[in-house]
Structure 1
Amino acid sequence: MTEADRQGQPSSNRTILVACAANLAIAIAKGVAALFTGSAALWAETLHSVADTGNELLMWLGLRQSRRRPDPAHPFGHGQERFFWAFLAALGIFLIGGLLSIGEGIRSLLNPEPLDDPWVGIAVLVLSAGFEGYSWHTARRQLQGDARRRRRSLPEQIARTSDPSATTVYLEDSAALVGIGLALAGVALHMLTGWPGWDAAASIAIGLLLTAVAVLLARRSKGLLVNESAPPDVLDRLQTIIGAPPWMRRMTELRAIFVGPSALLVLLTVEPVASLRTEPAERLLKDVDALRERLQGSPAVLEVAVTLIGPDDARDR
């Protein structure tokens, strides 16, 4: 585990725990309101909050699992546990939040029912928006801090970050706030028009929204799990650190993948200058070790491997 990862864990842990506590309270309140009102949109929102609570528990479990030290079976540590549990969380959003909400909306369309005590549902939704807003603000603040440190915009940080925890919570809570708005609209239009279809349509819209969020999160987690290359700005920073040392004729390849949040495995292929090929090997190895140490001094770099090639090998590449 890198120093950057250790520094990022307290904020990720707080973000997850805040979101979990908020969603658990919200799920209970929405469930009670759904029983009182019979609203399909409120049932969809209850399922949404239940899914979010379970997902935050999965993220917290992934955070704990990723803290284990490297061992012979996992020489680069357990950082990718975070990617795996984030992928499971995305599946939870899709199955519990997305598909069940769509199913509830379709059921309500086919078998419409009048609303009972709709003001109870509206009050719970407004209260839920406050809890979700606080959780959303916590996740956004962490993402903005990470984005500033990496000189990225917030959308770039969401798309490129190697820490799925804050991104998952932020997108979940963003979807939750939009979902609450849809549920409020569905209940209000049902009250005004007397047509239950508005409530059912809101439930279906919430399900489609959660399905879209699940796809976004699953795609990012999948990229990290299958060793997708580090983003261009990370490679550019590595290139700046490497520079142009006098012993290096050229670098033919620079590859980097995340083996955990803020934990890079860097692979270099370089051709040394011709004069060093006639010098003692110790001098070249000393230069290579100095380069490795300089790269590993970067907070995000966990391990560096350098491959030396001759001019014939360089032509083959």
Structure 2
Amino acid sequence: MAHGSRTAVLTAIVSNALVTVIKFIAAIISGSAAMMNEAVHSLMDTLNQGFLLIGLYQGGRPADEHYAFGHGQKKYLWNLWSAIGLFSIGSGLGLSHAWHSWHDLGNKIPNEPTLFLGFTLNPLWINMSVLTIAFLLEGYSFLVALKSYLKMMQRAGKSNPFSFLTEANDPTLVAVVLEDSIAMVGLVFAALGVGLTAVTGDGIWDVSFSALIAIMLGMIAFYLGYTNMRYLADMRDSEAEETFLRIANVHHQVERCHDLRSIILDETTTILVAEVELREEAVLPGLHERIQAERDAILNQLPAKRRHDEKLHCYAAARAAVIVTLQRTEEIIDELEAAVKQALPRVRNITVEVEGIATLVELPDQPPP
């Protein structure tokens, strides 16, 4: 489990849970539509981040008899459920509440003092106090998530934090950063709605900003759903494929590479499959001597009186040729795999199939030694 993602998610859960409680209290006391939508927004954020945390724990489980490459993709599934389900529900509830509040505008005086537990309270001051506290809590959560996000961006060698949102391979951390960002924008909208309603005496401002908050929830739900769905659709790792091609093209024993494919399982695991053809002039030199040495080693394992058996000589020569050829092929594959894994450690599973020796265009003047 990515430590930065886990810290960001846990911080967001605690801060959003506290914010949810105080927002609901303020919304009930003041009757503000924008504050109620902000409370729903924070509740959805809290539940969503709970799903993200479950996904982190589920996705961090190692490979077993049922999941050969681990449980990494479960993280994207939990993220997708949280994005589509919770955010869409939150957006729908918010729009519904804004609609009903709009219909009730003529039945209620905006910012009318409220009697609560025997005390007369001013809804404007209640809402503004709660929004200030919420902004501080959400701001702290945002800074924690942003710090982890910027570290991830630096490791990836990127410099633009906005364009990196579409390139980052950790949608969990991206989700927390976006949710905290939208939460802070929502707080500003709620403050504008409450403030303009108090200044003008027209509750339409409160309702309008309430609807904007709900629409923002729907937009972020769509984006996060799309981001996680890409990883569940066996998306290719273009960087891994380009790295393999670059390494194969400069390898002096590889003639060509084809049928190159990859799948991103999660941000730490990519599977890559490729077929290569080897160069005859690079593979064959020295192969004859290795076959002879392997044949002699096989014959030396036999009793002295059987070493001159012609059939055993043919068998030893054939077996030695197979063993040495396989060894040389495995050496080339190991070299390719080691180079790719050194360049991109996330490419943990590489399958390279050797199709054989590349077809000769013309015969060499001299046979290889």
Deviations 1:232-264 (A, max 9, x none): 445444545555211111222433221122211
Q: What does 1:228-267 correspond to in 2, within 5 Å?
A: 228-230=235-237, 232-240=238-246, 242=248, 244-267=250-273
How far is 1:186 from its partner? 0.7
Partner of 1:303: 349
Number of paired residues? 304
Report deviation, 1:17. Answer: 0.3
CA distance in 2, matches of 1:75, 1:156: 34
Q: Which of 326, 330, 335 is the aligned partner of 1:285?
A: 330
Given the alignment, which residue of 124, 137, 141 partners 2:143? 137
Aligned pairs for 1:154-173 within 5 A:
154-173=161-180
- For 2:90 and 2:32, the matched residues in 1 are separated by 16
Shift of 1:73: 1.6
Identity %: 27
Q: 1:234 to 1:207 in 2, by over 3 A?
A: farther
Q: Could you say what secondary structure the match of 1:249 adopts?
A: strand
Of 136, 147, 153 in structure 2, the residue corresponding to residue 147 of structure 1 is 153
> Which letter does structure 1 place at the counterpart of 2:225?
A
- Residue in 1 that maps onto 2:276: 270
Residues 114-171 of structure 1: CA distance to partner in whole angstroms, max 9, x if unpaired? 3341210111011111111111111111111111111113223321222122100000
| In 2, Cα distance between equivalents of 1:274 and 1:241 | 19
- Give secondary structure in 2 for the equivalent of 1:264: strand
Detail structure 1 runs of 4+ shifted over 3 Å in the superposition.
232-243, 274-279
Distance in structure 2 (CA, Å) of the matches to 1:93 and 1:237: 39
Q: Could you tell me how far 1:301 is from its partner in structure 2?
A: 1.6
For 2:217 and 2:22, the matched residues in 1 are separated by: 20
C-alpha deviations, 1:198-231, integer Å up to 9, x for none?
Answer: 111111100111111111110010000111122x
What residue number does 1:315 align with?
none
Structure number with greater Rg is 2
> What is the TM-score with the length of structure 2 in the denominator?
0.77
The one-letter amino acid of 2:124's match is P
Q: Deviations over 1:42-69 (max 9, x none)?
A: 1100000000000111111111111212
SS at the partner of 2:273?
strand
TM-score (norm 1): 0.90
Calculate the aligned-residue CA RMSD, in Å: 2.0
- Any gaps of 5 or more consecutive residues in structure 2? 113-122, 288-324, 360-369
